[in-house]
A and B are shown apart, each in its own frame.
Chain A
Amino acid sequence: MTDFWSFAMEHHAEILSATLEHVQLVAIAMFFAILIGVPLGMFIVQRPAPRAIALGIAGIFQTIPSLALFGFLIPIPFIGGVGQRTAIVALTVYALLPILRNTCVGLAEIDPAVLESAEAMGMTQRQILFRVRFPLGLAVILAGVRTATIITIGVATIAAAIGAGGLGTFIFRGVALVNDALLLAGAIPAALLAILADFLLGQLERRLRVI
C-alpha cells in the first residue's frame, strides 16, 4: 500500500486524466445504450415476437466474454478498428440488456386496474404508453440504467486492451509488470466510480419511486 500511495502522489495527474477518460467512455456508451434501449423497449413491450428476439440477441451479447467482444469488433469496418470508437460500441452492446429488460418489465408491470381505467377513459395505446406506462415504469427503467452503468464501469477497464485508454491502462500495465501499485492505481478509482454511480443513481431512483 505504501508503494501505491507514493505512486499515486507522483502520478496523480495521469490517474486523474485516465479517470476522466474512463468516465467519458462510460458516459458516451451509456448515452447510446439509453438512446437505443429505452425506445426499443417501449416498442417491443407489447409485441411478443420482437420482444423475444430483441431480448434474446441482447442476452447473447451479454454472454460473450468482454475481451473477446472487443477483439471481434476490431476487424469490422466503420465500427471497428483500434481505439475509443470500437470500445464504445462494445460497451453500448453490453449495457443494452439490463436497460432493455428493465424497460420491458417497468412498462409491463403496471397495476391492471390503472391500465383498465386508462383504456376505459378512451386513451389511445400511445397515450397509455407515454402518459401512464412510462411515468409509472420510470423507476424500474432507471434501476436498469443503474445496473448497466455499474457493469459498464467495470467492463470499460478492459477497453484499454484495444487502445481505448481509461483506467484499464494502469491495470494491464500492472498485470504485465506484476506491479501492485500500478494495478491499484487503476482498480481503486474504477471501484470508487462504480460506488459513486450506484449511490447517485440510487438516490434518483428512490425519488422517482415515491410515486
Chain B
Amino acid sequence: MPVAASAENMIEIRGVSWRANPHSSKEILVDVSLAVPGGTTLVLLGRSGSGKTTLLKLVNGMLRPSSGEVRVEGRSTQEWDGIQLRRRIGYVIQDAGLFPHFTVAQNVGLVPGLEKWPAAKIAARVEEMLRLVGLEPREFSARRPRELSGGQRQRVGVARALAADPPILLMDEPFGALDPVTRAELQREFRALAQRLEKTIVFVTHDLREAMLLASDIVLLEKGRLVANGKPPDFLGLRHPEVRAFAAALELNGATA
C-alpha cells in the first residue's frame, strides 16, 4: 500500500513516530506510513503492546505524532479542531465504554445531542440506529448498560459510533471480550453492515481470523513498526516471521476449535 498524495485517501499516515513524552527514548511507533482509501476497512493486526491502539488514537487526534503527520480527509490532525474531528469519527472500544448513568437511547443519541440536533430528529435517529444493530427500540431504549449482555452492549456501542453518520469509524478490539459464538455473530453482522454503509474503517485486533474476515487490507505491526501488509488472501502467504507466527497461532486455534 504505497502512500500517494491522493484525495481518495480518507486517512493518511506519513512517517509517524510516537513516544509517550519528549524525553523518553522508547518509541511506541516508529516511522509508520499507510493510507486508507475511502470506504475500505483497514485492519491493524499485532500483539498486545505493538502500538495498534496508539495508532488509532493518532487518527482521531487524541494523541499527537512526535514526528510525521496524520491527515484525515486531506487535512493534518494538527490543523483540525480536535473536538470537531472526533465528532466526525465514530469510536468503539472493547468494553463499549457506554455511560452507565445514561439509558441506551441517551448513549446512542450522545453525539447528535452534542451536535445540537433537534430532539425529534435525535429520537428518530436513535430508533433507526438500534434497528440497524439488531436491537428492538421499544425493548432496549430505556434500559441502562448494566441491564444488557456483553453482545448487546457492543451493539449499542456500534450504534452510538454510527449515530451522527461519521464518514470514519475507529474500532479497538470491539468484539475482543465476547464469547466465541456471540463474537462470530457480531463479526458477520458487522461485515455486512460495513459493506452496506461504505464507511472508512480502521479496525484493531490481535485475531488473524477476524482480520481475514473483515479487512480490505491488513497491516501488521510489531514493536511499533509496520512489518507487513497485504489483502486478506495474500496476507496469509507472506513470509515475514511475525506473519508466520500469527498464521501458526491461527492453525493451532483451528485444530483445537
Contacts and interface: CB of A to CB of B under 8 A. Distances in A.
B13 to A, nearest CB: 18
A114 B157 CA distance: 11
Given A117-B97, A135-B101, A136-B101, A127 B114 contact: yes
Contacts, number: 55
Interface stretch (B27-35, B84-92, B201-209): B84-92
B146 to A, nearest CB: 9
B202 to A, nearest CB: 13
A10 interface: no
B72 to A, nearest CB: 13
A114 B136 CA distance: 24
Contacts of A117: 91, 93, 96-98, 157
Interface string B90-117: 0101111111110000000011001000
A interface secondary structure, majority = helix
Interface in A83-142: 111, 113-114, 116-124, 127, 132, 135-136
Contact of A123 (B101, B114, B157): B114
A176 interface: no
Contacts of B89: 120
A122 B87 contact: yes
- Kindly name the residue among A119, A120, A211 whose own CB sees the greatest number of chain B CB atoms within 10 A: A120
Q: How large is the interface on B (under 10, 10 to 19, 20 to 34, 35 or more residues)?
A: 20 to 34
Interface residues of A, number: 17
A125 to B, nearest CB: 10
Contacts of B98: 114, 117
Interface in B63-90: 83-87, 89
Contact of A122 (B100, B111, B144, B170): B111
B91 A120 contact: yes
Nearest to B92: A117
A111 to B, nearest CB: 8
Given A113-B97, A122-B83, A211-B144, 4 more contacts: A113-B94, A120-B170, A121-B91, A124-B83
Interface of A: 111, 113-114, 116-124, 127, 132, 135-136, 211
28 contacts: A111-B100, A113-B93, A113-B94, A113-B96, A114-B97, A114-B98, A116-B97, A117-B91, A117-B93, A117-B96, A118-B97, A118-B99, A119-B62, A119-B86, A120-B86, A120-B91, A120-B170, A121-B91, A121-B160, A122-B84, A122-B87, A122-B114, A123-B114, A132-B99, A136-B100, A211-B100, A211-B101, A211-B144
Interface of B: 60, 62, 83-87, 89, 91, 93-101, 110-111, 114, 144, 157, 160, 170
